[in-house]
Structure 1
Amino acid sequence: MCELVKGYNYGLHGRQHFTALLTNSICLSQEVFEVKNVDLKVGDKLKLKGKISDDASMFCIDMGKDSNELALHFNPRFHDDVAGTVIVCNSKRGGCWGSEHRDPNFPFVKGATIKLTVKVLGDCFEIELPNEHIVAFPNHLSLDKITYIRVKGDLKVTSFKFE
């Protein structure tokens, strides 16, 4: 068996309860932090803090309806085949990826603790990076509510909150 799975139930300031699932895959040495039944609406923010592993190659933050319907796939890559270090954003509809948006601004450092803020703005998402640079990505799925969040890869989530 390659996985250790822990499930947690949370309630936030009158919002419905949601479940966070933390999977530490021993075989892949990757963290997976998955939150279901979230109720993020236009105007809400996700604030996330985490530690990038010392030997990181990538991590991603996915937000949408479920793992096959992602309005935002935010994917910093330390070793991209094309661009070296780059942030790739994308969306996924019906399990099929859309066109990539690549941002060369890359403030991430292996082994560092980071803070990210993702704002849900309706027609787009704004991701505030550790250096205060903003990455904007269109909401191609036109979702007015985010119910699914997943963080996976070489980032260990240490805290998160919704505002």
Structure 2
Amino acid sequence: MPTIIWNMSFKLGQTLTITGIPNSEATHFVINVGNSEDDLWCEEHREGGFPFNQGEEFKINITFTKEQFLVALPDGLVIHFPNRQRDENYK
């Protein structure tokens, strides 16, 4: 079941930390950032396989810069996701 957070300001220079535990059937993980449901990151970005272990807690950090979102995964991999809309604040 997805977790949805509305009206949480995510501003340039901030780091968002997400923790969770994937259930035993989880095969993918999605984070969408935007100003509304119709205004999200627009294009999926994938690298590698499922980076989490089912049933084990994980933590990822997303750092917001003017050019990109730096997504740091538990295994040390950092994914560079472009800030395509070039906004300085997302809801």
Shared fold (TM-score greater than 0.5)?
yes
Larger radius of gyration: 1
TM-score (norm 1): 0.51
Distance apart, 1:56 and its partner CA: 1.0
Moved over 3 A (4+): none
Runs of at least 5 residues in structure 1 that lack an aligned partner in the other structure: 1-30, 72-91, 93-97, 148-163
- Name 1:116's counterpart in structure 2: 60
Distance apart, 1:45 and its partner CA: 0.9
Runs of at least 5 residues in structure 2 that lack an aligned partner in the other structure: none
How well do the aligned residues superpose, as a CA RMSD in angstroms?
1.6
Identify the match of residue 32 of structure 2 among 62, 72, 79.
62
Higher strand share: 1
Distance apart, 1:68 and its partner CA: 1.5
TM-score (norm 2): 0.87
Identify the match of residue 15 of structure 2 among 45, 48, 53.
45
Structure 1 residues 22-49: Cα deviation after superposition (integer angstroms, max 9, x where no partner): xxxxxxxxx2221122221110011111
How many Å separate the matches in 1 of 2:33 and 2:22? 19
Check the 8 A contact 1:119/1:125 in 2, yes or no: yes
Check the 8 A contact 1:64/1:143 in 2, yes or no: no
